[in-house]
Amino acid sequence: MTLPRPRTEDFGARLSFDRGSPGRRAVDVPAWGGDERPLPDSHLLRDSLRLPELSQGELVRYYTALSARNFGIDSGTYPLGSCTMKYNPKVDDLVASSAGFATAHPQSPEEEAQGTLRTLLELRRGLGEATGLPAVSLAPAAGAQGELAGVLMITRALEDRGELETRRRILVPDSAHGTNP
């Protein structure tokens, strides 16, 4: 598979450290008004830290051009059946980035998490109704965790039907894990 090269300069030739001008900064951090307590010398790894001296615009353009060189599902066909490279509608990103979800913390107090919990409950109910399944789990993530959850559910279903001893093999196509054949 050949991929088109970006229409910008070859960003692989020059590192961010080799760009910009002395004194440029992408972000100006306001001065701290509190008490200063320097770190103990034993915590310091080096006397100074060399960082690229780029404006915010230069930095954004640099990383955007680098990202254009990455291959992803948004930039072309991904021929492998990897469990993590699948179509995710952009509306999902829009919903996930809304204030109620994007700022939610896993350890939020119960009273602050009610909206998220209600949404998850309604999603479970909707998925159950759409599939006709008696129960739905949102807990397993993609990849091996999701696959293990699926195999455990299949095992339980076969056990409940008395078929576990006769149905002991799972056929998995090569395309199921194209990234680790």
What contacts 4, CB < 8 A, 6 or more positions away? none
For position 181, what pLDDT does the model report?
43
CA 54, chain centre distance (Å):
27
Examine residue 88 and state whether it is found in any structural domain, yes or no.
no
What contacts 19, CB < 8 A, 6 or more positions away? 52, 54, 58, 62
Examine residue 5 and state whether it is found in any structural domain, yes or no.
no
Examine residue 19 and state whether it is found in any structural domain, yes or no.
no
Q: What is the pLDDT of residues 127-144, one digit of tens each?
A: 999 988 888 888 876 677
Examine residue 95 and state whether it is found in any structural domain, yes or no.
no
Examine residue 152 and state whether it is found in any structural domain, yes or no.
yes
Examine residue 139 and state whether it is found in any structural domain, yes or no.
yes
Dihedrals phi, psi of 56, to nearest 5 degrees: -60, -40
Count of the separate structural domains present in the chain: 1
Q: Which two tokens stand for residue 172?
A: 């998995």
Distance, in Å, from the CA atom of 124 to the CA atom of 138, rounded to the nearest integer, reads 7
Domain of residue 130: give its range: 110-161
Examine residue 137 and state whether it is found in any structural domain, yes or no.
yes
Confidence at 80, pLDDT banded by 50, 70, 90: low
Examine residue 124 and state whether it is found in any structural domain, yes or no.
yes
Mean pLDDT value of segment 53-62: 89
Q: What is the pLDDT of residues 140-173, one digit of tens each?
A: 766 777 788 889 989 999 999 999 999 988 877 6
CA 102, chain centre distance (Å):
13
Mean pLDDT value of segment 99-113: 87
Q: How high is the mean pLDDT of the chain?
A: 79
SS3 call for 118: helix
